[in-house]
Amino acid sequence: MNSSPYVTNAPTVTLIMLKVLLALVPGIAAYAWIYGTGIFITLGLATVTALITEAIFLKIRQRPVATHLFDLSAIVTAWLLALALPLFAPWWIVVLGTFFAIAIAKQLYGGLGYNPFNPAMIGYAALLISFPAIMTKWPAPLVLASAQLGFTDQFNLIFTGILPPGIQLDAITSATPLDYLKTQLMLKHSVAEISSTAIFGQWGAKGSELVSVAYLLGGLYLIQQRIISWHLPTAFITTLALIALVFNLLHPAQYIDPMFHLTSGAAMLCAFFIITDPVSGPTTPRGKLYFAAGVAIITYLIRVYGGYPDGVAFAVLLMNMCVPLIDAYTKPRVFGHQN
């Protein structure tokens, strides 16, 4: 009889992170197609900042730099944060948020495997609280923008803040559909009136529908590769859809349908790439269901009643606090024990 361990060919951290990055590629491609190639500038800037910050703090902590730096975990954090930021956010916002995510939310707690909070969401929340005006200038889909910017123009805008002559910022930016919906509802307009405007598509926000489908495809790839389990994304999507459906059925003029919530904002990115963080999330199957459902409920409540258009970051961080309690109360029964 062979001796333990019986698990062979277990995937390395580097392989897992590489597959997560590959799963993000369809969403990034769709994002670039809809909003512009400036996303590659933000991704590159975030990646470089993450690697430099990680190397510095690994050196300070006297940890092997080569071993930990190239496990790709820092790049995953950088990409998730970059995809959550406004496309035309100035370079220092990207650098500051990425530095905060790696240095404070990850390395300060001991590095990979020890962070109790999702680093990308910590970085995003810190930026949103500190610079709300910058963090709410979102790009308009290219089909709706009254002016077009090439890659060089977007590069100059991100690094210098200078637009080409004759182009104003409001020609390439707009309120997010989530923000627009909330504002118009406060002005007593009905959901039907609001959703008939140009920024809304067939199911939700114009443009983000395709990006959401791309994230969904990437997430299904991760499930097929057994990088993530079905529990977290299924519970999040189902709970968000159900709570939105209930409110929509009770008052359709005030609450929009579930498909809008699923295809707008960071819903699909959250379902497959953010709450599935194996370090800051729960470990038990039942706990994963409770955790994801809690994130979905808080996200919906912030979207509808809160002061921010999207509540994903705060919902994830609030539920991260509850992970030890969730794991403690959802431990599977040990075989042979009654309790």
Q: Tell me the HSE value of 92 on the side-chain side, using a 13 A CA sphere.
A: 4
**253 and 167 co-located in one domain:** no
Tell me, what's the pLDDT at 44? 97
**325 and 234 co-located in one domain:** yes
* Residue 5 domain flag: no
Query: What stretch of H or E contains 155?
Result: helix 151-160
**223 and 312 co-located in one domain:** yes
CB 206 within 8 A of CB 265: no
**81 and 149 co-located in one domain:** yes
> Which is nearest to 117 in space by CA: 127, 108, 106, 128?
106
Retrieve residue 224's tokens.
């097929």
Q: Strands 138-139 and 173-174: what pairing?
A: antiparallel
Where are any strands of DSSP class E within the chain? 138-139, 173-174
**97 and 26 co-located in one domain:** yes
Within 8 A by CB and 6+ apart from 117, the residues are: 105, 280, 317, 320
DSSP secondary structure string for all residues of 8-38: -SPPPHHHHHHHHHHHHHHHHHHHHHHH-TH
**288 and 188 co-located in one domain:** yes
**85 and 144 co-located in one domain:** yes
Cis peptide before 116 (omega within 30 of 0): no
Q: How many domains does the chain have?
A: 2
* Residue 277 domain flag: yes
Retrieve residue 108's tokens.
């300060």
* Residue 72 domain flag: yes
Tell me, what's the pLDDT at 124? 95
Tell me, what's the pLDDT at 1? 45
Within 8 A by CB and 6+ apart from 157, the residues are: 38, 88, 149, 163
**27 and 169 co-located in one domain:** yes
- Single out the residue in 174, 199, 216 at which a domain terminates: 174
* Residue 2 domain flag: no
* Residue 149 domain flag: yes
Within 8 A by CB and 6+ apart from 8, the residues are: none
**64 and 130 co-located in one domain:** yes
CB 268 within 8 A of CB 240: no
- Single out the residue in 140, 174, 208 at which a domain terminates: 174
**104 and 130 co-located in one domain:** yes
Q: Within the chain, which residues score under 50 in pLDDT?
A: 1
* Residue 338 domain flag: no
**Cα–Cα distance, 109 to 192 (Å, whole number):** 47
| Single-letter amino acid code for the residue at 68 | H
* Residue 318 domain flag: yes
Tell me, what's the pLDDT at 251? 92
End-to-end CA distance of the chain: 32
Retrieve residue 101's tokens.
């995510």
**148 and 89 co-located in one domain:** yes
- Single out the residue in 138, 157, 174 at which a domain terminates: 174
**226 and 277 co-located in one domain:** yes
Q: Please tell me the pTM assigned to this model.
A: 0.92
Chain centre to alpha carbon of residue 153: 26
| Single-letter amino acid code for the residue at 173 | T
**Cα–Cα distance, 189 to 197 (Å, whole number):** 12
* Residue 272 domain flag: yes
Tell me, what's the pLDDT at 334? 62
Chain centre to alpha carbon of residue 259: 18
The domain in which residue 36 lies consists of 11-174
